[in-house]
Amino acid sequence: MRKLLSVVLILCPLIVLANDMEDKTHHRWGFNGALTSSDSWQVEFSYHYMFSRCIGLGGSAGSWKVYFEEGWASAKNWNIDEDDNKPSNFYIRPSVLLKTPAWRYRACAWSLFAEPGVMMNVPYQSVCIESTQNWPAIEYDYISTNKGQWLALDVRLGVSLDIGPCGISAGYMMSNHDVYSQYRHLSYNGISFKEFYPEKPFMQGVYISLSYNL
């Protein structure tokens, strides 16, 4: 019992010290990346204003792209340009950052975090079509759409480690973002792209963030 009490007396001041340090920082800047089950990557810059050590409000801006496509829009005399066959977009993502009080061990402050957010993509998509009706001459057409999913809900969960003003977070993410949604609303010569690209209504992945706290 005495040993347990001694450990508690040692740890409590360290936890309080970590929390006091966190209370003095309000600006959290981050560089974030993710790999998803939709064969896509995400890269973004983020900022959160920390009202307290546990609650922050802010968001991020970034881009995503499919690195391995699961479809190819084509017909007898045309096909989508190879460079445009992997969907991509830019987005902003307002979010709330929730963290548990830090547990400090030496210079390290550990906490759990949850970050629910809303991904808002650019509601426009344009691709190039290669037409080979007069082979070997190749003609190029451009088609576009403003339909499809442009808003998605997501959440990130994980563990955060802070060492002084620097931090690193890693964890799991899930979202209803469908990377092929806009492509399925495209069509060429009366042929809808819907038959070429799969539906992916649920996405999950791994997430990592490097941050600096001021």
pLDDT at 17 over 50: no
Spatial contact of 143 and 129, defined as CB atoms under 8 Å apart? yes
Spatial contact of 108 and 102, defined as CB atoms under 8 Å apart? no
Q: Letter for the amino acid at 203?
A: M
pLDDT at 27 over 50: yes
The predicted pLDDT at position 9 comes to 42
Residue with tokens 């409590």, as numbered in its chain: 12
Sorting pLDDT into bands at 50, 70 and 90, what band is 64? very high
Q: Give kind and range of the element (H or E) at residue 4.
A: helix 2-23
Domain ranges of the chain: 2-213
Can you say how many angstroms the Cα of residue 137 is from the centroid of all Cα atoms in its chain? 41
Q: What is the mean pLDDT of residues 204-211?
A: 98
User: How is residue 122 written in tokens?
Assistant: 């650019």
Facing residues of 206 across strands? 35, 172
Q: What is the mean pLDDT of residues 30-58?
A: 97
The predicted pLDDT at position 23 comes to 57
Q: What is the mean pLDDT of residues 18-47?
A: 86
Q: Letter for the amino acid at 186?
A: L
Sorting pLDDT into bands at 50, 70 and 90, what band is 13? very low
**pTM (2 decimals)?**
0.84
Residue with tokens 């509601």, as numbered in its chain: 123
The CATH number of the structural domain formed by 2-213 is 2.40.160.20
